[in-house]
Amino acid sequence: MSAAEPTRILIAEDHPLFLKGLRALVAAEPDLEIVAEVGDGYEVVRQALALEPDLVLMDLQLPGQSGIVATREIVAALPSTRILVITLFEDDDSVFSALRAGARGYILKDADETEIVRAIRAVANGDSLFGPSIASRVLAFFASARPVAPHIFPALTERERDILSLLARGKSNAVIAHELSLSSKTIANNLTNIFSKLQVADRSEAIIRARDAGL
């Protein structure tokens, strides 16, 4: 991308109101250009592969598959395409999962317009940039020798965490039920809750999230 060419941006956002504001914000900057807008986690990967944008503005909570999984797939296929996460979520699990997936920036949706534009330009130019609250969390993590949190995936209950741990080891529902002395129906119900809390579509994505987190 030469200095005269605008930064080509793919927006992955399924909330119409925020998308409208983001579209207006980007359109007002002459050095930025929107090449596509998508609202689905699978579609953002397809469009990224087809268009090869310079930057993807990625929401984490997308229909289809999560923004974290989409980020991982895009970064693996297109190393030169940079990912800036723009989301409502600022919990440690979301932040560090996004960074492990390959995101180069992470900013919250309630950031002011100047901050969002600055983050877009910084990440597009190859820098890493985080919103103030996110940056302090990242710095605190690297300043500490301790894990990110006392428990991996704090949103999960102890039972759900045990089930996810066994799932990450490749255990079937029947085996998990036997090892935990629970019914298969209870395991299935807990897996549904786990998928919802982790914002994943199926057990394969859940296993990836669990293993990435060191579970």
**H helices within the chain, ranges in order?**
16-27, 41-51, 67-77, 92-101, 113-124, 132-143, 158-168, 173-180, 184-198, 203-212
Domain at 158-212, CATH class: mainly alpha
Domain ranges of the chain: 7-143, 158-212
Instruction: Give Cα 27 to chain centroid, integer Å.
Output: 24
Q: Name the nearest CA neighbour of 95 among 134, 59, 57.
A: 134
In this prediction, residue 142 carries a pLDDT of 61
Residue range 3-50, pLDDT digits in tens? 568 999 999 999 999 999 999 999 999 999 999 999 999 999 999 999
As a residue count, the chain comes to 215
Q: Is the pTM of this model over 0.85?
A: no
pLDDT at 95 over 80: yes
For residue 124, what are the CA distances in angstroms to 55, 83, 84?
Answer: 6, 9, 9
CATH 3.30.420.40 fits 7-143, yes or no: no
